[in-house]
Amino acid sequence: MRKYDAVIFDMDGTLLDTLEDLKDAVNYALRALAMPERTLSEIRQFVGNGAQLLLKRAVPEGTQEAAVARALALFREYYGLHCNDKTKAYEGVVQLLRELKAEGYALAIVSNKPDPAVKELAAIYFEGIVGTAIGERSGAAKKPAPDTVYAALGELKVAAERAVYVGDSEVDVMTAANAGLPCISVLWGFRDREFLHENGADCFVETPDEIRKYV
């Protein structure tokens, strides 16, 4: 007897390796404003809280809000056109999702990535497998607020106590806690085990297939 009826996944660092495309979009915005570019390692630490905070972290300290807003607009413009240039699904992820769907699990993606990019990438990589994909959008607080998780559960018609959340970051740990869901933390994403443990994670998997034993 399985524990859950629904599995909700984060996208960046959990299902898809999006880091190179995010770096390119951030650095496009920074170059356009004559600001120093950022390394892949820096971008890895900046992601997780949505596009606005990503750009706020990427611009030089003390940058005026108007310039941050301009950088964000440039980022969104570029990323909207280039969100799949270098992005790829992590090995084993698509197979896992296919198997979970075949076994009757309801599946969803909940991300702090801009909603149009979430829906586009979900359609490219998981069409016919994951039907519910929700990103950052107006009218709903982004993670770690539980709003978008609740929206996904509403679309899936599954109660929170019958769902589990899967992510790669401290934001995902907090999101799951705020929504009243257990959290499975993956170790192939943008944060390491020690950091996740320090931020409250207590269930870890090293490969996508390992998720099956927890659901």
For the annotated catalytic residues, the residue numbers are: 10
DSSP letters spanning 93-152? HHHHHHHHHHTT-EEEEEEEEEHHHHHHHHHHHHTTT--EEEEE-TTSPPTTSSHHHHHH
Length of the chain: 215
* Peptide bond preceding 182 in cis form (omega within 30 of 0): no
Say how far apart CA 139 and CA 86 lie, in whole Å. 30
As a whole number of angstroms, the distance between CA 92 and CA 39 comes to: 27
